[in-house]
Homo-oligomer: A and B are copies of this chain.
Amino acid sequence: MRNTRVAGRWAVGATACAWLAAAGPACADGRGAALASISSPGNVLTVELTIELGRPSYRVLRFGEELIGRSRLGFDLRGARPLDHGFELERQTSHSVDETWEQPWGERRYVRNHYTELAARFTETSGERRFYEVVFRVYDDGVGFRYEIPAQPALADVVIDDELTEFAVVPVATAWWVPAGQPDAPNDLEILIHKSPLAELGTAHTPLTILTERGVHVAIHEAALVDYAAMRLARVDGQLLRAALAPDAAGWKVRRTTPFTTPWRTMQIADSAGQLYGSDLILNLNEPNKVGDVSWVRPGKFIGIWWDLHLENWSWAAGPRHGATTEHAKRYIDFAAKNGFSGVLVEGWNLGWEGEWFGHGESFSFTRPYPDFDLAAVAAYARAKGVHLIGHHETGGGVGHYEEELGAALDLYQRLGVDTVKTGYVAAARGITHTDAEGRVQLEWHDGQYMANHYLRVVTEAAKRHISIDSHEPIKDTGLRRTYPNWLTREGARGMEYNAWGQPVNPPEHETNLVFTRMLAGPFDFTPGIFALERTRACCRVKSTLAKQLALYVVLYSPLQMAADRIESYEANPAPFQFIKDVPTDWSETLVLNGEIGEYVTIVRRDRRSDDWYLGSISNEQGRLLAVSLGFLEPGRRYNAQIYRDGPHARWDTAPTDIEIEQREVGSSDTLPLRLAAGGGAAIRFVALPRAPGAARPR
């Protein structure tokens, strides 16, 4: 074993055992030796490929220790022999890449893409000699691999009944996960994050985050989910996980024509929770921008006719309490213009909200407003004030109906200057409806191949009209924002709204879980910023301090951030509201200063349009005293730190709105204590002061 490991590290593109003829049985290790192996650029991770009795498999070593043990590769196909045994390694090639690319918007401006790649072709040893490739990209902080099925006579139209990819986690681990595969669960990505031994995992959505007993943090996910079913993870036995693709209504999992590639199966791997969040693996494995010029894609902040709906002060449907009236909208536009928000969302503006629309979206019109909402006038009023109306398309899961109206609906918004649309798919997990060619109503999962294509179709249709998309009840994020930068943000986990309705409300640990699970996938339109934290409805409250609400603007990344509370709450609290007015949503740099999954986290980000930095730090239900070095600030420069922190009596349960606001001049050599109350947080704006005369920006 030991010899195999050591040699394997360097045996890029070579057969480890060939190097080790002298090792004899030690190399064979009783299970078949590595046919190919490759190590990451800094020699941290190694992937080995093996064929045992004709079955291809891979494993992942970290510093020579097995992290992912021998794990199968392959597919079960409909009407054909499984693509998993009877194979040999026909050829392998490897190379390395080290490049840096620029994001139009994001957590950081420049992203380094530094990996070694191993492409292996597996070919059947007999019969039709079908073949496929597996391409591994090995980074110091993770691994991605995908199948590439070339065009070939015996594999033309392919129906995948199951993908057989396994992840055999070796060290005993704890998992943070969201259950998947319950067809009647409403919006199943919004189930509270479970924590359990990995060996007690049910079927889970990804990212699935695990922490091994030895302190290694691993997130299993996928990148570039295009024209394929989402990969859920099913536990086969012990800690052995297998891909469980979301089914199509037709019964299969995926139907494709060769040549095609699968999404990347990914493992982000780090020694600390903070490094895990810092990984760019998912973006790096997506294709570059295919939209072209995206200067029209604009990150920003918005308010909207929204929280009053969830509080049941107003209604989505028409009536005496209708929220989306022209008058209300203008009041929100005025407030947005006055306070520097770029957008105003108006939900419930269009016909069809009466009755049971949840899961029955055919009632909605996407072009006709209620009589008390003058869409054209409101859009024009907004434009005149320099504010953008944010469009809203709730489908209720009626995707067939929505696709029929999609073109006209987007055309309307384009004409009115509405350049961002929030979409919605409120329905059971397998509650998406469309009508097939024979006129039969089909029930689809949110995360099957059909919907993967639908969500992306909306994005590409919108792109043609220079409209950006904020998908709610979406398919999970797999980094497609790199390829389609107008896919600005999405929901896809439990957001603030649960703190209005309950069932139950989000616990204080929720956001500290999100950072290291859902947020690994990409931006989340969580809608933070509730100031009226107590008794949101009779059932409910927001289990957070006010300072933590501010911190969420930095901690939970979204290029489009909502100030979710009613404007009355902000008017009544101008001092803390100032932070929401100031905080940007587009960043040139992001660093995690500390954190543990579900416990606490401190993130700093540098504004894309200035030299200012912002810090957000949050805790779960436990108070903390953290100390953060300000070494991220520009050396030699002074900053005005505007600190919003929990007051001396603050606790989420007894005194959530106790907040202290302080200004202080600081520099990069300072260390700040951060005292986070139970359920609390801290938010800091570091305003860069002018450099001393003659001082250049240090190297």
Taking Cβ atoms with an 8 Å cutoff, the residues of A that contact B are: 2, 6, 9-10, 42-44, 62-65, 140-141, 214-216, 270-272, 275, 278, 591, 594, 596, 599-600, 622-627, 629-632, 634-638, 648-649, 651, 653-655, 667-669, 673, 675, 677-678, 698-699
Contacts and interface: CB of A to CB of B under 8 A. Distances in A.
B627 A275 contact: yes
Given A623-B44, A623-B63, A698 B629 contact: no
A42 B625 CA distance: 9
Contacts of A270: 625
A657 B102 CA distance: 41
B678 A623 contact: no
- Among A141, A630, A636, A651, max chain B CB count under 10 A is at A636
A629 B629 contact: yes
Given A63-B623, A216-B622, 12 more contacts: A6-B651, A42-B625, A63-B677, A215-B622, A270-B625, A271-B600, A275-B625, A275-B627, A629-B632, A631-B631, A635-B635, A635-B669
A56 to B, nearest CB: 27
A606 to B, nearest CB: 11
A216 to B, nearest CB: 8
Contacts of A654: 2, 6
Nearest to A10: B648
B44 A675 contact: yes
Q: Considering the complex of A and B, which 5 residue pairs feature the smallest CB-CB distances, nearest first? A: A631-B631, A63-B623, A635-B635, A636-B636, A635-B668
- Among A140, A141, A624, max chain B CB count under 10 A is at A624
B699 A64 contact: no
A638 B653 CA distance: 48
A45 to B, nearest CB: 9
Contacts of A653: 2
A272 to B, nearest CB: 7
B634 A669 contact: yes
A43 B648 contact: yes
Contacts of A44: 623, 625, 675
A108 B10 CA distance: 43
A636 B2 CA distance: 46
Nearest to A628: B631
Contact of A698 (B622, B627, B655, B669): B669
16 contacts: A2-B653, A42-B675, A43-B648, A44-B623, A63-B624, A64-B678, A214-B599, A270-B625, A271-B626, A275-B625, A275-B626, A629-B631, A635-B637, A635-B669, A667-B698, A667-B699
Contacts of A627: 275, 278
Contacts of A655: 6
A561 to B, nearest CB: 27
Given A271-B625, A698-B636, A649 B42 contact: no
A541 to B, nearest CB: 15
A623 B39 CA distance: 15
A213 B637 CA distance: 41
A699 B678 CA distance: 34
Contacts of A2: 653-654
Given A629-B629, A635-B635, A669-B698, A623 B215 contact: no
B632 A635 contact: no
Given A625-B42, A631-B632, A65 B271 contact: no
Contacts of A600: 271
A630 B141 CA distance: 21
A623 B675 contact: no
A272 B632 CA distance: 20
A623 B698 contact: no
A401 to B, nearest CB: 50
B678 A65 contact: yes
Contact of A649 (B6, B216, B636, B678): B6
- Among A9, A63, A214, max chain B CB count under 10 A is at A63
Contacts of A591: 629
A626 B272 CA distance: 8
A26 to B, nearest CB: 13
Given A63-B623, A625-B141, A627-B275, A596 B648 contact: no
Nearest to A647: B43
A521 to B, nearest CB: 22
A112 to B, nearest CB: 12
A214 B622 contact: yes
B668 A65 contact: no
A666 B574 CA distance: 43
A632 B630 CA distance: 9
Given A64-B651, A667-B699, A675-B44, A596 B636 contact: no
Nearest to A622: B214
B599 A678 contact: no
A269 B504 CA distance: 34
Contacts of A215: 596, 599, 622
